Every structure is written in structure tokens, then in C-alpha cells.
Amino acid sequence: MNSSDLKIIEVIRVPILINKERVSDFLPGQLNSIYSKKGVKKAIKEGLVTINDKKAFTADYLFGNEKITLFQSTIVTNKKIITIKLEVVFEDDYLAIINKPAGIIVSGNKKYTIENALPLALKKSKQHDTLERPLPIHRLDYPTSGLLLIGKTSRSVILLNRMFENKEIQKFYEAVTVGQQKDHGIVNSPINTKKSKTTFRVVERLNSIKYQNLNLVELIPHTGRTHQLRKHMSKIGNPIFGDQQYGIEGLKSVGNGLYLQASKLIFKHPFTENKIEISIPRLKKTNKLFPEKESRS
């Protein structure tokens, strides 16, 4: 990447160190623009970090008093911008929360993604570090619908990612599961050898002639593994209704999609410090199985 394609976004001076440290170990937590070790390594590999004005490498050692410069590419992305009608549940100058439809991927190399629709779906931030393309902070599976948190500025993306890493953002899901299920419980089966934890609570039950027992369940993922909720419910013998990948043969609902929704988010706003508690109504297709009880006057 040519130097003309870069702009300086941060410069820090390394304090005198008692013991030498690799630059990739020192920088996480020192920069305002990147907080994770993975992010630091990526920036170094992309040539966006210099030590005393020379290109940095992840194995370089720091001893103290070095000048670290972090750059940002000025090359305009060639990603497409598309129109998808998205329900914006919350929005201010720093972040937004949308209700993601099922059947759309959040981000990736394909054109038809939530990320590519955000520039037109959201208002542009007036902050100095506004992003031309707002960024999803977490992911929801292709067949999963519900609340998706979006960062609209560089700083908000950093802070919200940090909050997720520190488990300061509570996520609640609603699902319909198949089979007799305990009232509540914890599933901590490892996923891809990594520690994983999900808690569940049955909200309502329904006897079904075709599908035996169905349960309306609240799910809380305490870790963020791929397909965690789907795998954990399948592991205990209560797969999520409509799950073609982890469901039980003969008890799979075909044509109605996955009965899994990200239903609630609770966190402290990283800038205003107000408590944000956002929830959305039950999936309409779920109401056909578990009709809302009508209020009586």
C-alpha cells in the first residue's frame, strides 16, 4: 500500500519498559482505535503500523520510548450499497439497533447483506469519526431474525466490541424447541473444543399431535460460539423448531424457517451512560403455535 493511500489516525509514545515486549503484545489496550490483539495483528500485517517511522512486524520488540504510529487506509471500498427495508428499533448519533429479517446474512463477500444495506437504512452520524458504512457489532445466523447492534462511528465500534468481550451486553433469545424439556437448565457442552455456556427457561408448553411437545423457551448465550444455541438445544434433545441442520429426522418443520429470534438487548450506552433495554414482539409465526393471551378488561 502506498504512503499516499494512508492517513495518520493515532500516535503514541511507548513508556520505558522493565522488560522488552513484542509490539503485538504491547499495543492491545494502548490504542484508542484498536483494542483487541487480533485487531492489532491485522493492522500490522496490513502495513498500518510503524515503529519510529519504519514498518512494524508482529515479532518486533519494544524497549521503551519508541514512537508508534497507526494509519488508516484512504482507499475507498468497492463494496456495494443496496436497499433492504429494515426496521430500525433504536438509533442515535453513535449506534443503532435493527430488527434483522431471517434469510439474510449479516456481512461477507456477497452483495445481499445487512452490512451493505446499512448506509441507506440509517442516518449518517454527525460525529467527527462517523463511518461511511456503519458496522454490525455482532452476528446473527442467516436463518435467525431479531435485534442486531450497529456502530455508526469508529469509537462506538471499538467501545461496543469491548463491551461484548467484557460481557457487558446482555443478549436474550426466544425459540421454539421440540420434545419434553426441563423447566430450566444450563448447557455447557464445548463447541469445537471451546468452552460454551447457554442457560434456558421454558416460558410456555404446547402439546402437538404432529410434533409431540413444543416449548417456547428463553435462551441466554453466555459465550458466542458459532451456532451455539442451535447446537446446545440439539445436544440436550430439544432442537429448535425448523432447524434443518441440527433437528431430529421426522420432527423437522419444513418451509417455515427457523423459530429463533434475538428478542432483547440490555446494556449501558457507551457515551450517554443511559441504560438501553430494547425488546421486540414475539415472532408472528410463533404466535400461530403459542397465541398471545388476550388481555381482559
CA distance 187 to 185: 7
> Which of the listed CATH numbers 3.40.50.1820, 3.30.1490.190, 3.40.640.10, 3.10.290.10 matches domain 3-73?
3.10.290.10
The predicted-structure confidence for 253-285, as pLDDT tens digits, reads as follows 666 789 999 999 999 999 999 999 999 999 888
Enumerate the domain spans of the chain: 3-73, 171-261
Pairing outcome for strands 61-62 and 21-22:
antiparallel
- Average pLDDT of span 99-103: 95
- Number of other residues whose CB lies within 10 A of the CB of residue 2: 6
H-type alpha helices, the chain: 23-26, 37-45, 114-121, 154-165, 228-235, 284-287
Residue in the structure block whose three cell numbers are 452520524: 125
Query: Whole-prediction pTM value?
Result: 0.79
Q: Give the tens place of pLDDT for each residue, 163-196.
A: 998 899 999 999 999 999 999 999 999 999 999 9
**Is the pLDDT assigned to residue 296 strictly greater than 50?**
no
Q: Which fold, 171-261?
A: Pseudouridine synthase (3.30.2350)
Integer Cα distance of 68 and 50 in angstroms:
6
H/E run at residue 275: strand 275-279
Q: Taking a C-beta distance cutoff of 8 angstroms, is the pair 138, 161 a contact?
A: no
> What confidence tier does 64 reach under pLDDT thresholds 50, 70, 90?
very high
Closest to 221 in 3D by CA, of 116, 297, 281, 141: 141
pLDDT digits (tens, 9 = 90+) for 209-252: 777 789 999 999 999 899 999 999 999 999 999 998 998 776 66
**Average pLDDT value for residue range 123-150:** 92
Closest by CA to 213, choosing from 244, 249, 179, 176, is 179
Contact 102, 284 (CB under 8 A): no
For Cα atoms 132, 138, 139, give the angle at the middle one, nearest 5 degrees: 105
